[in-house]
Structure 1
Amino acid sequence: MTDHPIRYFASDEAVRRVASGLLDRSLPKEEWTHEAHLAACTCLLAEHPDFEPERDLPGTIARYNKSKGGVNDATQGYHETITQFSIAAVRAHLAQDGEGRLVDRVNRLLASERGRRDYPLRFYSKALLFSPEARLGQVEPDVLPLAEV
């Protein structure tokens, strides 16, 4: 994966706008970035106790993708393993750094190792992570165990 500058959030409201835009599918497609994925997950975990990300996020993202003209199949769109891995990474981050304003928690996550775009590749080989099996269903890592997230 190539390096990109981190796109930090300016306010709690900006983070909440991403989460609500994902839920109601109003977020512009170009704003559904790596950072937006992590921010939405953080907001949903921190502020939406009835939303169970492991259960609810897959369908939410798939519906969002479809609403923006995307396709969810074995080669594009929703990716189950990356989503479930990211939820685990956000949960681990919040367990260690769960205090303060929402925007600060999100921005600290984005600046951390867990927030890196290539963080899943510490746990999965590229071949496995980008396989149709990993996109369509959750697969166990082949490099490091998930317990180390």
Structure 2
Amino acid sequence: MTDHEIRFFADDAAVRHVGEGLLTRTLPRAEWTHEAHLASCLWLLVERPDIDPERDLRAIISGYNESVGGVNDETQGYHHTITMAYLSAVGGFLQRTDPAMPLADKVNALLAAPEGRRDWPLTSYSRERLFSVAARMDYVVPDLTS
């Protein structure tokens, strides 16, 4: 789970491509990677003040999943706790980042940071709790201290 090679973004346009593709539901499913999830989240926070990610990400991601043939139910698709945990982490990361840094550099630094790892939520959640139906469907608080 932690041995994946990070797929960094070449430039700001590549980050915007993912974020805009998510919103317009035109991003090819194969491009909807862990890195794309985090890049889209950061892009929304930095460049789309008209969107409230805490309120809107469920509908945005669920709609995208359905548009590429996915299902959002108790076992697959949108996962609310993971989304909200990463949203909080990305917000915290941005507070520690130079606002003048180019978008792709911010995303790439996030991907290389501890909170950018695929297994990062497991630093605060037991596997059982994080992958429960309750955590997928709604936000559950962490059960591990970090």
The CA deviation at 1:2 is 4.3
Q: Which residue of structure 2 lines up, in the alignment, with residue 134 of structure 1? A: 135
Distance verdict in 2 for CA 1:98–1:62, change over 3 Å: farther
Once the two structures are overlaid, the 10-residue window that deviates more, 122-131 or 94-103, is 94-103
Q: Which residue of structure 2 lines up, in the alignment, with residue 68 of structure 1? A: 68
Gaps of 5+ in 2: none
Q: Following the alignment from structure 1 to structure 2, what is the Cα–Cα distance between the partners of residues 94 and 87?
A: 11
2:8 is aligned with 1:16: no
Q: Which residue of structure 2 lines up, in the alignment, with residue 83 of structure 1? A: 83
Q: Following the alignment from structure 1 to structure 2, what is the Cα–Cα distance between the partners of residues 28 and 48?
A: 21
User: What SS class does the counterpart of residue 10 from structure 2 fall into?
Assistant: coil
Pairwise CA RMSD of aligned residues? 0.9
Q: What is the identity percentage for the equivalent residue pairs of Structure 1 and Structure 2?
A: 57
State the aligned residue count. 145
TM-score, normalised to structure 1, is: 0.95
Equivalent position amino acid for 1:117 in 2: R
Kept in 1: contact 2:125–2:142 (CA 8 A) = yes
Q: Which residue of structure 2 lines up, in the alignment, with residue 110 of structure 1? A: 111
Equivalent position amino acid for 1:14 in 2: A
The CA deviation at 1:3 is 1.8
Q: Which runs of 4+ in 1 moved over 6 A?
A: none
Q: Following the alignment from structure 1 to structure 2, what is the Cα–Cα distance between the partners of residues 98 and 126?
A: 34
